């Protein structure tokens, strides 16, 4: 069996959408599972809508997700002579012809067909022209067969038949000399020896046209697999009205790339009841046989839960560099990376994304943090002043702030002053963090250090 070759071929007309990312992921996983090749191709022939910014965003998104490519990026704009050579071949073989119809003429015919409740279809009027029309630069149309059927044997959807009479003579080269999508995709896939085309099922209706082009050019067909679309919670196609839809938007919200990969692959693919996979498991277990035929629903809450699970399971040192940009956004400067690692350990169980973690890290990184006034009024009361003063003296004279030593100091205060442990602990918590809820108070004190703890408790005492 020949080596499998797959490709991901985005158009750089915007950010990489969640649906496009899943398509890239399925192609990448299948190539890696089969020991094949994964090619990145940029379909940038739409000169009006393609932008360099979109190309940068696509490359950044794929890199962040960990989807490396073996070849590319290959740009269609660098391959124009190849497409034109293939157009000339079809013209010479009588399988294509010049079309001199103006856009407004074609639109008029389309509107007339719609008004008469007919399917808009090019009537082939230029197919038998003997002479060119002066003053007009022609587009080139493919001469499609009008009898019989074209059969798509889809690896996911099964066998689909298309009546050739329903297909018209599609334009393969515009009058400006640029190829159209269907034609350039076929030429690229054929000349790159693509063996499997995995893409969204919005391309199903393009496929019979592409099959006919493969046959006309004498190229072997790849195997097609059309993946069902991703829907929003309201069961309509996922769009901006459902919230974030681009890969980089989720990066900016503090989601982990491995969580997004795991979530995307489960939108339409399953392996028994298993929900959580690392990358190696996905490569080993991925198959097209387990891709479903029904559309998948993007559940934001479930994705957030999964991301929280990944944050809890991640090694703290691996989160340090990822968290720093979110701290920078808030003007928060950690003392050191080693210190930040200890902060992260206390916050992992409480954070569903890195943005949330950065918010919770605020009191660690600055001493001018906001204080919850209700919490202060409830826990920093006059009757706690004396126990708090005694505690602060003992902490200031303690040789080392470790959790065991702090626990002993608190027990001593409870015994000496007849105060409840919860009361003194909550007073300290509000003094140190400004909140009534935080990571374990001994952990917080150890990370802040004696000097900072004494300073913050003293400040709270002054207010009392």
Tell me which residues are annotated as active site: 240
Do the strands 296-297 and 149-154 form a parallel or antiparallel pair, or are they unpaired?
unpaired
On whether the CB atoms of residues 189 and 253 are closer than 8 A, the answer is no
Least Cα distance to 349 among 425, 261, 447, 443 occurs for 443
> Angle at Cα 214 formed by Cα 96 and Cα 98, nearest 5°?
10
Helical spans, DSSP H, in 93-225: 103-115, 181-191, 207-217
- CB within 8 Å of 384: residues ≥ 6 apart: 419, 423, 424, 427, 464
d(CA 45, CA 49): 9
d(CA 456, CA 448): 10
d(CA 106, CA 104): 5
Cis amide linkage into residue 395, ω under 30° from 0? no
For 129-133, the CB contacts below 8 A with 24+ separation are: 129/97, 129/98, 129/100, 132/98, 132/100, 133/100
Burial of 423 (0-12, 13-18, 19+ CB in 10 A): middle
What are the helix and strand counts (H, E) for the chain?
20, 12
Q: Quick one: residue 109, left, alpha or beta (phi over 0 = left, psi -120 to 50 = alpha)? A: alpha
- Rounded to the nearest 10 degrees, the angle between the axes of helix 300-313 and helix 257-266 is 130
> Phi, psi (5° rounding) for residue 150?
-110, 130
Query: How would you label 172-187 residue by residue, b for 16+ Cβ within 10 Å and e otherwise?
Result: bbebeebbbbbbbbbb
């Amino acid at each position: 069996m020949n080596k499998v070759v797959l490709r991901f071929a985005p158009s750089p007309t915007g950010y990489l959408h969640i649906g496009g990312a899943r398509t890239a992921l399925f192609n990448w996983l299948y190539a890696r599972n089969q020991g094949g090749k994964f090619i990145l191709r940029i379909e940038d022939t739409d000169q009006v809508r393609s932008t360099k910014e979109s190309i940068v965003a696509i490359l950044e998104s794929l890199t962040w997700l960990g989807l490396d490519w073996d070849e590319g990026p290959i740009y269609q704009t660098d391959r124009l002579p190849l497409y034109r050579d293939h157009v000339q071949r079809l013209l010479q073989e009588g399988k294509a012809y010049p079309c001199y119809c103006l856009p407004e003429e074609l639109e008029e015919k389309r509107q007339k067909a719609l008004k008469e409740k007919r399917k808009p279809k090019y009537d082939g009027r230029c197919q038998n022209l003997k002479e060119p029309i002066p003053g007009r630069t022609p587009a080139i149309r493919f001469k499609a067969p009008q009898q019989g059927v074209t059969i798509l044997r889809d690896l996911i959807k099964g066998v689909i038949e298309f009546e050739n009479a329903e297909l018209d003579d599609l334009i393969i080269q515009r009058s400006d000399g640029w190829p159209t999508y269907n034609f350039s995709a076929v030429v690229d896939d054929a000349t790159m020896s693509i063996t499997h085309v995995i893409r969204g099922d919005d391309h199903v209706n393009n496929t019979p046209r592409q099959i006919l082009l493969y046959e006309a050019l004498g190229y072997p067909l790849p195997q097609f697999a059309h993946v069902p679309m991703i829907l929003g919670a309201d069961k309509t196609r996922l769009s901006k009205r459902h919230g974030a839809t681009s890969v980089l938007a989720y990066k900016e919200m503090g989601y982990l790339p491995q969580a997004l990969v795991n979530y995307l692959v489960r939108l339409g693919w399953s392996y028994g009841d298993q929900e959580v996979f690392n990358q190696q498991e996905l490569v080993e277990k991925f198959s097209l046989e387990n891709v479903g035929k029904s559309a998948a629903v993007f559940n934001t809450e479930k994705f957030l839960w999964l991301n929280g699970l990944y944050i809890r399971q991640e090694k703290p040192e691996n989160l340090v560099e990822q968290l720093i940009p979110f701290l920078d956004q808030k003007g928060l400067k950690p003392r050191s990376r080693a210190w930040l690692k200890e902060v992260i350990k206390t916050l992992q169980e409480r954070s569903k994304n890195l943005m949330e973690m950065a918010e919770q890290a605020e009191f660690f990184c600055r001493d001018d943090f906001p204080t919850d006034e209700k919490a202060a009024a409830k826990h920093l009361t006059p009757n706690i002043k004396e126990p708090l003063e005694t505690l602060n003296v003992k902490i200031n004279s303690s040789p080392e702030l470790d959790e065991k030593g702090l626990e002993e100091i608190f027990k001593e205060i409870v015994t000496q002053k007849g105060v409840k442990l919860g009361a003194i602990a909550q007073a300290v918590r509000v003094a140190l963090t400004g909140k009534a809820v935080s990571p374990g108070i001994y952990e917080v004190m150890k990370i802040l250090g004696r000097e900072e703890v004494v300073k913050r408790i003293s400040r709270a005492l002054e207010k009392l």
